[in-house]
Structures are given as structure tokens and as C-alpha cells.
Structure 1
Amino acid sequence: MDLAYMANLPQEEFIERRQRTLAKMQPNSALLVFSEIEKRRNNDCDFPFRQDSYFWYLTGFNEPNAALLLVKTEQTEKAILFLRPRDPLLETWNGRRLGVEYAPPILNIDEAYAIDDFSAHFPKITRNLTALYYVPAFHLWGDKLLSESAVNFTDFLDWRPILSEMRLIKSPNEIRLMQQAGQITALAHIKAMQETRANRFEYEIESEILYEFNRHGARFASYNSIVAGGNNACILHYTENDQALKDGDLVLIDAGCEFAMYAGDITRTFPVNGKFSQPQREIYELVLKAQKRAIELLISGNSIKQANDEVIRIKVQGLVDLGILQGDVEALIEQKAYRQFYMHGLGHWLGLDVHDAGEYGEERSRILEVGMVLTVEPGLYISEDANVPEQYRGIGVRIEDNLLITEDGNKILTAAAPKEIEAIENLMQKNRQFLKM
């Protein structure tokens, strides 16, 4: 049996996750999680398959049309998988399947059945159980299967509070994979700096990034890459990437690889021609100062809100100093005058999803704990039609890194990507000199 598609984590990790989940379930209950299914791209072609993160977290199984059922009674605890059976003809056309026979020994689960027989087996397995942990409307194909089964539970409970909290604290194995995702992502941003020059299209630089991901073992991006030249950087989720880069503009690149299902997420902003203008430098240094202060504050025992409050204060003071905002700093903060230039949060959880699972608390006041991984990404976006001094119009800057909360503070997983002005300019100028040789 070819296992090349299996998880890049030891099976013991998935077993331990299922055991922890069972321990948190109430007695005489079941928990049901469906996999993702293939999505049509056009006519009879599908998008590349990407497994549901919750399902993967508990199984490490990368096939569509599957379901995991955890059963907890006073007598026993079981992990049961429903999946596609082996089919030589379909496998010839569409790729290998693990199949019912191989699933228990390979995935270390207790029982396996064909997904087509779900409606027959599910009522029998859960006949005497009182509660079902399930999330309706999460996978509509799963809702349909469940509706076709005779179920008679007293309680229906949401499994997301259990699984999201588990996902929020990364294991040593997960951290190892996320370090690799951060390193590959950093290498791609370095490549982008080296290859950027005036009159190249944004999508050309995107292709350099994706190639670098692939070259280092990350087949896919963890989200749609943003390559935004000039005023396009003031569109937060700009993904058209179809404009020519202009001499004298900045380019903002927000791109991350997915390595072994785990996301990297870096943003760097740099000059197309390799040299920051004075206005660009002033805005960039303000954002960088804010990010460095945030990194100092994002440690165990503090919160994202604490860091973001300090970031806002630094930015408002800086914008007043530059003449972009006018008035008293405290009053401007109270009025949220900065929102026209900084309209998003400071960061988000990172893991199997680029915007990973887990509660933030009111206004992101949740206390940070060892093992959490998050982004830190302050930005300033001054559109070309903003009512500010002309030299600052059309400048968008964001600087983003991935941060692991540790016992000693934090660790930047993406530090290999340059962000100091001198380091960026030196890298870009050195590459231009090499190209002229």
C-alpha cells in the first residue's frame, strides 16, 4: 500500500488527540466530524483537494467523502471511520484509496465502514447514546447523510469549543512543521525581493513566490497571495495581481506557503526599484517601530489587545508628527481617527488554517499562553485620494511575522525574511548588480 499521501506527523499524535477529545466528551455520547469533499472547478474538473482542518487534526487522513465517529460509553471508547471503499477502476482514473480494509491498521482506529453504508451503521452504533457532538451546516453533504439516518439523541452539542481549544496550543511536532512553513515562506519573500523590478507584472512576482514554495517542498500556498503595487496595497485583500509594477512605487506582498497542512503567513513591503523614497521610508519606519513594540509585548501573560493598544498609540503619534493627522493624540485615539489608515486587527491565530481556530476573547483580550502561534501585522494604508500631504498618498505598508509564544517570551518563526530598510535595500541592490554582470 502506497502511503505517500499520509500525514507528516507520527500516528501517535493523532491517537493522542482523539483520546484527549474523548476525555472531554460527556458520558454516553458520540462526536461526528465529516471530511471535506472535492469541489468542482468547471465542467468535469475539480479544484485541488484540501482536507478539512478539523477532520485532519483528528485523523491525518487526506481523502474526501469520509467521516470520523468517536463513541464514548461507560464500557468503551471507540474511533470509527467511514470512508470510500477500494475501487480498482475509479482508482485507475482518479488516484489511490486507502479503503476499509487498510484504514484500521494504518490510521490506528478501531473500526472502518464504507461511507455509502453510513446510514445503515450509524443508527446501530449510536442506538443507546444520549448526546451527539455535531456542527450542522459545516459540511452540507454530511448533513444530508445524517438526515438519512434514524437518530434519536436527547442533546446536540457543538464540538468546536473542544477541538478549537485543542488546536490553539501547538504540540512540539506542530511547531516543527510551522517553523518549516515559516522558513519556506521567508525564502519565497527573499526571492520576490530579488526578482522585483519596474514593469514586471504583479502575477510574475507571484509566480516566483509559488515556485519557491514548490522548490522547498510546499506544494500549495496557504491562502491567495497578495502582490499589490502602489495604491493597490491600500486594498487589504487585493488578489487580482494583474498590474504592472511601477518605478518609484512600493509593492506589498502578503503570501504564505502550506507545508504539511500548516500555514506560513508573511507580509513584506519594499520599493519596486530597490530604494525607499523619504516619504516611503517615514511610513515604513513608523509601521516597523509599531511591529517591534508589539513583538516585545506579545508574550505569555499578556494579550493581543495590550499590544494593539500600544501599536495604535505609536501610530497615532507618528501620524501626528508627519502631519497626516492633526490634533491631540489621546483625543484622536478616543475618536478612532486612525481607522481610516489602520482598519484591521494586529494579528490572528495561525496553524492548520491561516486564520486558525480558537477564541480571542472580547476585543482580543484573551491571555496568551505558551504554545500559541499568531501573526503580528500592523499596517498603514494611505490611499491616493486621502486628504493628507501629497507625498504620502498611495502608500500602503504592512509588515507581518509569525510568532510562537514560549516560556521565555516569544520566537519569530519568520525572522529570515528581511524587514529592516537597510537589509532590504542591500539585498535588492546586490541582486541588481549581479544581473548586470
Structure 2
Amino acid sequence: MFEKEVYIKRRSELKRALGRGVAVFFGNHEVAINYPSNTYRFRQDSSFLYYFGIDRPGLVGVIDVDKDNDFVFGDDIDDEDVIWMGDIGTIYDEALKSGLCCIKPLSEMYGYFRDVIKSKREVMFLPQYRFKNMIVIEEVLGIKPQTVNGYASLKLIRAVAEQRLKKSEEEIEQIKKAINISKGMYEIAFDKVREGITESQLLAECEAYAIENGVWLSFPTILTKRGDILHNTRHDGVLNRGDLVVMDSGVETELHYASDITRTIPVGNMSRLQKDIYDIVDSAQRSAIAKAKEGVRFLDVHLESARVIAEGMKGLGFFRGSIDGIVESGAYAVVYLHGVGHPLGLDVHDLEGLGEDYVGYSDSIKRSNKFGLRYLRFAKQLKEGYVMTVEPGIYFISALIEKWHNHQRFSDFVDYDALKGMIGFGGIRLEDDVLIKREGAEVLSKDVRRF
């Protein structure tokens, strides 16, 4: 945990933003893999961690704005659990570290919420992604699980998003710590990649480094020579000379702050064409990062990367016509179909669970319906203290190329014969983590090895 003053300040800021009501944060529970006592690795809810810092299952945090009171409902483990888990201390000890006055037993939670509802005070909670918590909400608030997220508080979502997006110095240090461990993983990947090694063998070498350094993964690692499958988490390929390996990985620190970095690694030397396309992606990333600063819309950072990709791919004969036409029409998305990046923090896709349209968009900046651009997770203006990923890529996806060709989509701009000749090439992506400042962006992952 951070110092208790950090959590006290965060809760106080949230109270000022909300003005009134009761904000409830449902911590996560243990989740069974295939029978009750065989559970997945526990991961606390990120917003619960942000405001309370207690990394234990089965807790409910309350920020009572009306009464200026913060506390947690929860029970300590019993004597039998101690046999299996050891003496892990009391929740009250953790509460003191979080600057809380008290811990209340779970049995008191139901009466508390009955009184709150009876007094007609506003109860606010965030969208839920764990079914167990939906059941708890039904028990204490009487809302059916299938309708829970329809009752999530938009006021609370926006207040939490605004607060969590801007990273404090201690949060930035945690992200840097995660990046530093990622740096070691990529050193191993570059050193160990070779003809004949399997993707799973290379993955094992890299992930072992993370575990040796006392951290865990922030998401399942993408390590594949099939870079055209954007979220390919299969690792059954054997690397051959001439392959391009896309490795998209991250770790999270003991306080659960994440890194998220992608490199494209050649097996042997790159061919001339591979290097040309790699250089386009590299230029697109550098141009996007150069544009990112406070006050600039992240949408415009994305469009800057799209323009560089359109120019480069036109130069290689894959596109034709005006660059403005290629970008404005969305024709570039046949090879660059995802957004340029996303916020990073306690979640690797920070705050995504609260709803991208609430976190990354606004009343004045709405999500586009265009293919490709609609996958941009964050579009609104950047502010100092945001940590963002910047990750353009070029991919040759057989099904997409065939579909667009069959429908003659953007045929004025796209040379489908040239694109079809690239099927089997795979893909190239580069991703770094950047800190937004008033005059520009600081690349936090600048020291992570790249080709």
C-alpha cells in the first residue's frame, strides 16, 4: 500500500466531486477454476484498490459523502483458514494503513443499506463485471443481477474516471517499476529469438523473468509470428528464419500498476520489404508521440498515425489517391484497424470496465461509426498526468482484405492485388507507454529494447 495519506486524499477528492450520497465499491471475491477450493489468482478490483488499498477478497468499501465517513465491511479469516493460509493479520490492521476509522462485519452491511435506502439517500456504484458482486448488490439493494449495470451511477463513473486518469507521482513510479521489469523481458526476447525455438519456449523464458522479479502479468502475453491475429494468445508456432514475432506484453507491480509494451522482433535479418513496413510503423509511432500533449485530442494523435501509415503504404504501392481521402474515408483501416492507444494505470486498459464512451469520449467528442476508428478507445483531450499507450501497427489480414475486395470498398484508394500478395506476411506493431505533459509526451518505456 501507499502511505495512508494517499488514500485519505483520494477519498476526500471524490467526496468533493460527488457532493452528496453514498458511494459503494465492491471488492472482488475468490473465483473457482473447477471446484471451490481451487481458485484463480486473486485480483482485487482496481477502483477498490485506488480508494482503499486493501488487497483482500470479500470486502465492500463505503464512502459516505453525506456523513463524511469512510469504512469497509469485511470479515477476518477464521481459525480453520489460518491453518491453510497462515497468519495474514487482521483487516483492521489494513484499514489503519488506509486511513480508515473502522472495519464493520459483513453481517452489519444489510442493515446499513436498509437504513440508507429508507432515508432516501442516493446510493452510487460502478458497473460490475463479476457475477458474485451482482448477487451481493441484489442482496443489499434489491436490484436483479441481470439489470445491475443499468443502475450504475453515471455521476460516480465520471468522477472516478476523472480522478484515476490523472496519475500522481507515486503512481507514475509504480508504472515505471513495471516498465523496468518489462525491459528485462524484452532483452530476453531479443537475445533468445532464433530459428527452431517454439513460441511457447520463448514465452516461458520471458515470463519466468517476471515471476523471478516478484510480479505477475497484467494481461495474457501475445507472442506470435501470426501478427495478423491481433490478440493471438496461442503459442504453438515454431519460429523460422524470416518470421516476424509480435510480442505484446506487460506486468503489474505488487500494487497492481501495469506496463503494456509491444515490439516486433525478426528471426534473423529483416527483408527489404519487412524493413520498409517496419519503418512506416516506427515513423507513425514517433509522429503520434510527438503530437501528444495536454490539450490535444487523442483522436488527432490517432489520425496523425493513420496519415503517416497512409503515406508510407501509398509509397509502397498499396494505396493510391490523395492522402486526405485515404484518411478521411477510413480506407487506411484495411491495414491499420485499431486505435492508436489507450490509458494505462491500475488496469492495463485503464478504466475500460467503467465504459469507454464515458471515460474516453465526451458530450462534444462522440465515437465514430467508421470501421477502424470506432475501435479507438480514447478520443478526448489529453491532460497532464495521463499515461497513455501509443501503438500503431500494420497488418495483412486475409479475411478482411477478401471481404473488402469482394465489396469493392474504397477501391479508389486501395490496390487489392498488391494487398493480396502480402497475405502470409503477418503484422508489425510497436507500443510504448507515455506520460502526457503540457509541452509534450515523455516516453516512459524509451529504454526498452527495439529493433
TM-score with structure 1 setting the length: 0.86
- Identify the match of residue 217 of structure 1 among 214, 217, 226: 214
- Identify the match of residue 397 of structure 1 among 428, 431, 435: 428
Q: Where do 5+ consecutive residues of structure 1 fail to align?
A: 1-6, 425-437
1:349 partner SS: coil
Matches for 1:155-304 after TM superposition, within 5 Å = 157-158=153-154, 159-218=156-215, 220-229=216-225, 232-259=226-253, 260-273=255-268, 275-304=269-298
Q: Is the 8 A contact 1:403 1:410 kept in 2?
A: yes
Q: 1:124–1:293: structure 2 CA closer, same or farther, 3 Å change rule?
A: same
**What does the per-residue CA deviation read over 1:333-377, in whole Å, with 9 as the maximum and x for residues that have no partner?**
333221111000001000000111233443544111110000000
Identity %: 27
**What does the per-residue CA deviation read over 1:263-304, in whole Å, with 9 as the maximum and x for residues that have no partner?**
10000002112x111111000001001111111001112121
Distance in 2 of aligned mates of 1:412 and 1:63: 33
- Report the counterpart of residue 71 of structure 1 in structure 2: 64
2:82 is equivalent to residue 57 of structure 1? no
Q: 1:101–1:285: structure 2 CA closer, same or farther, 3 Å change rule?
A: closer
Q: Is the 8 A contact 1:384 1:394 kept in 2?
A: no
Matches for 1:301-320 after TM superposition, within 5 Å = 301-320=295-314
2:159 is equivalent to residue 145 of structure 1? no
Q: 1:323–1:133: structure 2 CA closer, same or farther, 3 Å change rule?
A: same
Distance in 1 of aligned mates of 2:142 and 2:239: 58
**What does the per-residue CA deviation read over 1:86-108, in whole Å, with 9 as the maximum and x for residues that have no partner?**
41211222454544543543332
2:93 is equivalent to residue 92 of structure 1? no
Q: 1:47–1:106: structure 2 CA closer, same or farther, 3 Å change rule?
A: same
Shift of 1:125: 6.1
- Report the counterpart of residue 93 of structure 2 in structure 1: 102
- Report the counterpart of residue 359 of structure 1 in structure 2: 360
Q: Which residue identity does 2:429 align to in structure 1?
A: R
Shift of 1:243: 1.1
Q: Which residue identity does 1:301 align to in structure 2?
A: G
Distance in 1 of aligned mates of 2:200 and 2:141: 51
Q: Is the 8 A contact 1:189 1:417 kept in 2?
A: yes
Q: Which residue identity does 1:68 align to in structure 2?
A: G
- Report the counterpart of residue 325 of structure 1 in structure 2: 319
2:418 partner SS: coil
Q: 1:332–1:407: structure 2 CA closer, same or farther, 3 Å change rule?
A: closer
Q: 1:104–1:239: structure 2 CA closer, same or farther, 3 Å change rule?
A: closer
Q: Is the 8 A contact 1:286 1:318 kept in 2?
A: yes
Shift of 1:400: 0.3
Q: Where do 5+ consecutive residues of structure 2 fail to align?
A: 144-150, 352-358, 368-377, 402-416
Matches for 1:42-53 after TM superposition, within 5 Å = 42-43=34-35, 44-53=37-46
Q: 1:314–1:107: structure 2 CA closer, same or farther, 3 Å change rule?
A: closer
Q: Which residue identity does 1:269 align to in structure 2?
A: T
Moved more, 155-164 or 16-25: 155-164
Q: 1:145–1:204: structure 2 CA closer, same or farther, 3 Å change rule?
A: same
**What does the per-residue CA deviation read over 1:70-98, in whole Å, with 9 as the maximum and x for residues that have no partner?**
1122xx31111011224121122245454
- Report the counterpart of residue 428 of structure 1 in structure 2: none
Distance in 1 of aligned mates of 2:152 and 2:305: 42
Moved more, 369-378 or 386-395: 386-395
1:263 partner SS: coil
